[in-house]
Structure formats: C-alpha cells, structure tokens
Structure 1
C-alpha cells in the first residue's frame, strides 16, 4: 500500500490501557519478538504497512499477512514476526474488555481482508505514531476510545474474529461498522455512508428498514450513546454541553437535544445532573 505514510517515530506509544507499537522487521527471516503487555487479556491487531509478513504465535502456528490485510490475535501474550525483506508494521494492543461484545471466542487468530474500514484505520494509526510527546489527559482519553471503536469496527465487519462462521460480512454489518468508526465526524451522513459502501441510497434505506430503522436514526443513536457516556463520566465535566455535542459528532447543543428527544432520552443537562 504505497499511499500509506511511513511513520518516523519508533517504539511504543501507551495511551491508557492501549498500546500502539511500530514494528521494524529485519530482512532475511530474522524474527522480531513482540510481548503483549496489556493485562489481563488483550486483543492484538498487526497491520503490515509495506509488504507481506509472517506472524508466529505462542502455539507456533504461522500466518502470512499481506500489506492489504491485518492479523487479529486474541489473548496472545507474545508472538514473533518475520519478513523476507526489511519491512514495517504497526501493532495495536487493546484490553479485550473494551471490545468484548464483538468477541465470542478466545485463544485464536484470524486474518482481516476485504475490509472497507482497514485502509482508513491503517492511515490513522500511521498518523498516531507521529504524535509528539505526551498527550494531555483529555486528548489521550478520546484517542484511546477512538482506537477501541476502530478495533470494534474491524471485528464487527470481519466477523471471523468472533468465531462466527460467515463467508463475508453483510452490508448491514459493514454499514454499522462504518457508523461506529466515524460517528464523531460531523460530515458522516446517510449519503456519505451509501457512497462509502458503493450502494445507492435506496439500497441503504432498504438495509436499515429490515431492522425497523433508518440510516439517519442509527447515526444519531451512535452519536447519542457516545454523548451519554461523556455526560455521565466525571472526567468530562470540564466540557460544556456544546463541547460534548461537538465531540460526539453533533453540530451544536440544540442538535444534541433534538437527538436525545427523538430517542426518548432526558435532556443532556438533566443527564449530567443525575450523574453529578
């Protein structure tokens, strides 16, 4: 994937309970050994950036992973990476509890391929490795949550990571994965969602009507759920309602209030007061 930036920072960035590591793999089959430090149980996703790599897990099972794929390791404590030529990969380690609802099996690995989310995630991770110095606490919190959402989106779209025997993710799963990954982006609309899935608006509406919903409602619901978690969290009391709205993907506080009302929630101010 030649359009991916090549990160200049080396080593590991720790963000809360999550780690993002740059793996510089030597040529000639010399192994690079990686220890997963997140506890108690972690999910590790390895993203090759420029060429095929081979990953050997604790059971000595090997997986060849191309540059347009990623490898998910569930519950791994360590692994080794090989390559015929010098190459670079990025590894993301997240606590399994953060994405547990998307995982129904442990102690196994799976390759993610043909994913609409994979390309944007790789580009984002390459940018994360360029992050200078220490992140301030609020920025680190948002970044970790975003990494968790991206991991969940990959697991949801791929399905194989959860031990579900499905030949390919359905359009509904792909749409939900896109919404989960980009709900904080105010430019995400049903039209943009349809374009990203390469389908018509009519097809998109038909997909969501099968579950008694609409694309707009699901985008609004995902954003509202994020806003609810922020309003209940004491760490975000430094943010006013308008700032919470912006960080959740809403245009302003009025947009957030309308979404809460449409979903049958109390007002944002009432929700925050209850959590005080």
Structure 2
C-alpha cells in the first residue's frame, strides 16, 4: 500500500497553480485536504505509474466545476456532485467560479478491487446519500480538527476509505444477468467488502441492499459454489488477519480487533477462525510478530 508522506507529495499530482491546501490532515495512508481555488484555475491530473503506490482522489466541491476526462467532451459538475480522479486516467478540472474544494486522497491499492467487481465509474459522480455523507464527514474533519490518536487515526482512515469505496460502488456500472439488469455476484461481493465491518450486517441486509430476496441471493452464490454467509464470514476473517498482522495495531486488544473486523466480540472472532481452520487470533498475532 502506498503511504502518504505529506500533502505536497499528493498536491503535486495536480500539476497546477494554487494547488496547495489551506488544510491538510493525514490519517495514516489517507489524506483529507481543503483548497481555495480561483475562477478558471486549471488542475491537470496525469496518469500515474502502475507501481502499487498510486493514489486516487475524490473531489467534493462547493462550487460548479468543469472537467475534461476520458470521454473527451467537457462536462459540468454542479455543486454537490463529486469528481473521481482515477490514477490511470488523465483529466483536467477547472473552477467555474472561485470557492473551496475538499479532496479525499486514498491509496489505489485500497480501491482497486472495484475494477474487478462492479467497475470503476467515470469522472463525474452525481450527488447521492453516500456522497453527501462523505462530504459532511470531510467537512467535519477539516473545519473542526481534533487531537489525533493511534486509534482514531486508524478509524478515520478506514471510514474515509470505506466511504470512498462505497461512493464508487454506488456509481459504478451495473452488470446484467441473463439479459436482466441486476447487481450480480460481483456487486454482492463488493458490498460485502464495504459493509463487513458492521456487526449488524448479515445476509438479510445484503439482500435488501441488492433489492432481491434472500432466496435469490443464495441462488446467486450457489451458482458459484458458495453462500453469502460463508463469503461474509471469510471477508471478516481476512480483515481480522490483516489487522492482527499489522504491527501498527499492536496497542489494540483482540476484542478491539474483533469489533473493527465486524465481529460482535472476541469469542465470535475465535469461532470464525476455527471455522476457517486457523489458529487462535492471539497465536496468529504472536506468529506475525515473530
């Protein structure tokens, strides 16, 4: 995963004038920035090398913008809409009038799964409930900064990453099954990745998100030789393994790791590890340290 070292490393990607932020907050590998832009200021977003350290950006603007993206023709971006800057696509963004822009910068390694799932959206993303939620969260972070801690930095990093991922999933192109528009198993798996950290999220909630019955959802996974419950449990186990192996999470207890991975408590985490044929979470943490 590419690690953000400072705001300059990211704002230089814009290759334009007045790109330096008035506020820049780093949360481990994620950055939140706010910029004051003048009318007709042009930001040029250049493709990055595919070296695993790429960064994607999601612009949240309080002013109308105009973007020249992959589609060629300029597109208007009304206030409230978002602009997605893909690390491998060139784009140019200009401000129709002076104002402020907030940007969430996220390592592409944390978002790249979208391309093998529902597919990454184009540059302009219409306003939505998720988009408005991301805007409110960034505005709170940037206008009311608080003293960071190891735990809050991790939580904010995960929240921004998951919210950006969710916005991209929501805006991504839908797949079709047997000629009928449907989310498909790829979209279901993407939603599992987005919501796996929520202990209350289960098969019924997944079916509701996909606007289908639980029975049809189970049929969808059965074609692939799986079940939605198993895939959700696997997704949470995988996340817990990553959290336990990360030395930066050493101050967190097993119960906290379990909750961050979407389990209700440490006992549920241990049962899931046993189900997956793994050693206990505590033993896995010890082995990772060795």
Say if 1:31 and 1:80, in contact at 8 Å, map to a contact too. Answer: no
- Judged with a 3 Å threshold, the aligned counterparts in structure 2 of structure 1 residues 268 and 53 are, in CA distance, closer, same or farther, namely same
Q: Give the superposition deviation at 1:228.
A: 0.5
Match of 2:32 in 1: 20
Q: Which runs of 5+ in 1 are unaligned?
A: 1-9, 161-167
Inter-CA distance 102–192: structure 2 relative to 1 (3 Å threshold): closer
> TM-score, structure 1 length as denominator?
0.72
Tell me the CA shift for residue 258 of structure 1: 1.3
Q: In the alignment, which residue of structure 2 is the partner of 1:240?
A: 253
Residue number in structure 1 paired with 2:193: 180
Aligned to 2:202: 189
In the alignment, which residue of structure 2 is the partner of 1:217? 230
Q: 1:64–1:184: structure 2 CA closer, same or farther, 3 Å change rule?
A: same
* 1:235 positional shift: 1.6
Q: Distance in 2 between matches of 1:113 and 1:203?
A: 30
For residue 138 of structure 2, the aligned residue among 125, 148, 159 is 125
The SS at the match of 2:256 is helix
1:42 correspondence with 2:55: yes
TM-score (norm 2): 0.69
- 1:61 and 1:21 mapped to 2: Cα distance? 28
2:85–2:91 contact (8 Å) kept in structure 1? no
User: Does residue 74 in structure 1 map to residue 86 in structure 2?
Assistant: yes
Distance 1:263 1:32, change over 3 A: farther
Aligned residues: 254
CA contact (8 A) 1:33 1:78 kept: no
**In structure 1, C-alpha distance between the alignment counterparts of 2:253 and 2:69, rounded to whole Å:** 46
CA distance in 2, matches of 1:197, 1:129: 33
Distance across 2 between alignment mates of 1:52 and 1:202? 44
Change in Cα spacing, 1:195 to 1:124, as seen in structure 2 (3 Å) is: farther
What do residues 60-102 of structure 1 show as CA deviations (whole Å, max 9, x unaligned)?
A: 9733234564322123799543236x76543211233343444
Picking from 266, 275, 288, the partner of 1:253 is 266
Checking the alignment, whether the CA contact within 8 Å between 2:68 and 2:91 is kept in structure 1 is no
Q: Is the 1:245–1:253 Cα contact (8 Å) retained in structure 2?
A: yes
- Say if 2:100 is the partner of 1:91: no
1:206/1:15 CA distance change after superposition, 3 Å? same
Contact 1:175/1:197 (8 A) holds in 2? yes
1:262 is matched with 275
Segments of structure 2 that go 5 or more residues without pairing to the other structure are 1-21, 174-180
Are residues 1:230 and 2:243 paired? yes
Q: For residues 224 and 199 of structure 1, what CA distance do their matches in structure 2 show?
A: 26
Q: 1:230 Cα shift? A: 1.1
Change beyond 3 A, Cα 1:101–1:188: closer
Matched-pair contact (CA < 8 Å) for 1:55–1:63: yes
Matched, 1:203 2:212: no
